[in-house]
Amino acid sequence: MAHNLQAHDSSTKKVFIMSILSIVKPVGAIVAVSILGGCDTAIPSFQAQSLVSNIMRPTTTTRISAMQQSTNLLDEKTKAATEEPFISSITAVGFSAIAIQPSKNLNQRRLMAIRAAKLDAYRGLTEQIYGISIDGETTVAEAMLTSDKMSSAVRGTIMGAKTVKIEPTGNDTYEVELSVNEVHIKRLIQNYTRGLI
């Protein structure tokens, strides 16, 4: 009888140990996957790898998003490779009215207005590169301002100016934009300081 009681106790112990092991094994596997998931080494268990890959499997939305990001990066690299490098420049805009031009022919007045607007833009470039000389005269008599005159003058040579745009603005005005890049500006300033122009 004592022998039967011992056999019953040992079988109960086996069942108890087996039930604990059946709980501990999956928990241990999950803990192992969690711990090894943070390491740089590969997980040796095929089951752990398949568990992680099932969790991390990309969806259609994430695939489309990843493809869009790759396409955007490729477009940016292509655009950056084809863009011209930035060259600093000075720009000036000139304006002129068509109606005040001295001609009876409308087309000739338009051409004259474009030419006058271009000269105005050249004046603006010259002011920016060489500066402008301003003379002023004010007359005061009996503690009252009787006359206030100002005049400005600009003198210089412009080389390498590029016409950026010529377009009508409104019904009676033309606008011309000119630009001189940094290389030409440096050359003009060097020649000016040497007294060559």
Contact (CB, 8 A) for 123 and 94: yes
Q: Where are the beta strands (DSSP E) in 55-143?
A: 89-97, 133-141
State the DSSP H helix or E strand holding residue 164, giving kind and residue range, or none if neither.
strand 162-169
pTM flag (> 0.75): no
The whole-number average pLDDT for the span 117-146 is 89
- Give the C-alpha distances (Å, rounded to integers) separating 154 from 44, 88, 128, 191: 83, 23, 10, 17
Domain ranges of the chain: 2-44, 89-193
Judge whether 78 and 161 are in contact, CB under 8 Å: no
CA angle 93, 197, 131 (to 5 degrees): 40
DSSP string, 65-84: HHHHHHHHHHHHHHHHHHSP
Model confidence band, residue 70 (pLDDT cutoffs 50, 70, 90): confident
What share of the chain in percent tops pLDDT 70? Answer: 65
- Cβ atoms of residues 180 and 162 within 8 Å: yes
Confidence band of 68 (pLDDT split at 50, 70, 90): confident
* pLDDT given for residue 184 in this prediction: 83
